[in-house]
């Protein structure tokens, strides 16, 4: 289905791609996305429109490519970014600075709206601190949480100059990524294979729970939690493995799934259809993991005792599908995996998925939009 994908070559290595959130109850397809770049002389935050894509021509062929609405220079590599709301984007820099950019939709410009200089920093021998990369950012408007190479966690509020809370030595190793577990709790992953839960209501600067990969302590690069079943968490690591965790039980992953041949950079559950999960990697691949296999085709676990599926309540069916993520080997009987990029190129650094639309960015200086994910 590669013909449904439109590519745009942008002469910048793309480190992050994010759809602008749709207004509540909006019916339209996602149409605007942001990108951030890295490893270029002049890094940029860019806003793109994909709205003229997906207008099929007379012969059903797709035409058009994403077009640039506006962009702005960014100091340092873009390490992570997230929309705070329809207009504002929070960006994490390799310099340690965290910036909120505002997209002015009336005249299509971007401006720096607010900046926390050196939110992350290494404490040197002298007093002039060197910045440490801010590796991850997650927002729940107005709250913004950042993590960094310095092992620090910051909680900012969009309208306040000083951090609401800082956990200085949260981790002795690099924190690579962060996400919300619920409004007052966050999950972090680090460079020694640990997943930690932090309760921001607690004044203690200790995690409330620590989980870890057995054995080799492979660095974990990315984390996401299931949008409806908040105890199900997915992480991806340096070895390309996908780990699924059930944070209610034990301290180790429920399943380890062989995935990519190199570092996994991002993992995302589909926000409204979490039977689908997406991962991308340094090896140039982007995988779609689908556990939504049609239950009626699985007589083995539904027709016990000759009962027909009509007797099964909707929730029973849902449970068996949802727990596919938690079965010891989800791949065995109920998972389909598709590589959405058959001709692998350079590293796929970032992906984002919303509705039926996928956007991803690569080191091959290109961004790609697929508006027919489930066609």
Task: Give residue-wise pLDDT tens across range 59-113.
Answer: 444 557 899 999 999 999 999 999 999 999 999 999 999 999 999 999 999 999 9
Write down the pTM of the prediction: 0.88
Q: Of 157-166, 320-329, 366-375, which range is least confident?
A: 320-329
Residue 122 CB contacts under 8 Å (≥ 6 apart), including other chains: 129, 130, 131, 132, 149, 150
User: What are the beta bridge partners of residue 197?
Assistant: 187, 209
Q: How is the chain split into domains, by residue range?
A: 5-293+324-370
| Pairing of the two strands 153-157 and 276-281 | unpaired
pLDDT number for residue 84: 97
What are 113-123's pLDDT values in tens digits?
999 999 999 88
CATH architecture of 5-293+324-370: 7 Propeller (2.130)
Tell me how far apart the alpha carbons of residues 144 and 146 are, in angstroms, rounded to a whole number.
7
Q: Compute the average pLDDT of residues 259-288.
A: 96
Query: SS3 of 299, please?
Result: helix
Mean per-residue pLDDT of the chain: 86
Helical residues (DSSP H) of the chain, grouped into ranges: 299-302, 314-322, 331-334
Helix, strand, coil % in the chain, rounded to nearest 5: 10, 45, 45
């Amino acid at each position: 289905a590669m013909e449904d994908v439109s590519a745009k070559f942008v002469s910048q290595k793309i480190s992050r791609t994010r759809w602008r959130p749709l207004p509540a109850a909006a019916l339209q397809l996602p149409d605007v996305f942001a990108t951030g770049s890295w490893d270029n002389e002049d890094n940029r935050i860019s806003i793109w429109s994909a709205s003229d894509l997906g207008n099929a021509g007379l012969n059903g062929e797709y035409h058009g490519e994403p077009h640039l609405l506006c962009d702005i220079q960014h100091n340092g590599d873009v390490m992570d970014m997230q929309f705070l709301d329809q207009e504002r984007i929070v960006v994490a820099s390799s310099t340690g600075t965290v910036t909120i950019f505002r997209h002015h939709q009336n005249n299509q410009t971007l401006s720096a709206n607010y900046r926390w200089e050196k939110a992350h920093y290494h404490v040197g021998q002298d007093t002039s601190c060197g910045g440490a990369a801010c590796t991850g950012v997650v927002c729940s408007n107005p709250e913004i949480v950042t993590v960094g190479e310095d092992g620090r966690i910051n909680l900012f509020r969009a309208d306040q100059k000083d951090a609401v809370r800082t956990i200085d030595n949260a981790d002795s190793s690099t924190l690579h990524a962060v996400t919300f577990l619920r409004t007052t709790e966050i999950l972090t992953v680090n460079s020694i294979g640990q997943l930690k839960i932090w309760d921001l209501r607690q004044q203690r600067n200790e995690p409330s729970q620590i989980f870890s990969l057995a054995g080799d302590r492979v660095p974990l690069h990315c984390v996401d939690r299931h949008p409806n079943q908040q105890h199900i968490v997915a992480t991806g690591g340096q070895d390309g493995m996908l780990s699924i965790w059930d944070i209610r039980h034990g301290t180790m992953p429920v399943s380890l799934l062989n995935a990519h041949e190199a570092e996994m950079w991002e993992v995302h559950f589909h926000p409204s259809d979490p039977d689908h999960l997406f991962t991308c990697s340094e090896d140039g691949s982007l995988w779609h993991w689908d556990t939504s296999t049609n239950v009626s085709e699985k007589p083995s676990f539904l027709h016990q005792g000759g009962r027909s599926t009509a007797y099964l309540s909707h929730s029973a069916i849902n449970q068996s599908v949802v727990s596919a993520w938690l079965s010891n080997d989800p791949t065995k009987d109920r998972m389909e995996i598709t590589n959405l990029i058959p001709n692998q190129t350079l590293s796929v650094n970032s992906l984002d998925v919303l509705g039926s639309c996928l956007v991803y960015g690569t080191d091959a200086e290109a961004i790609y939009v697929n508006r027919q994910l489930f066609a």
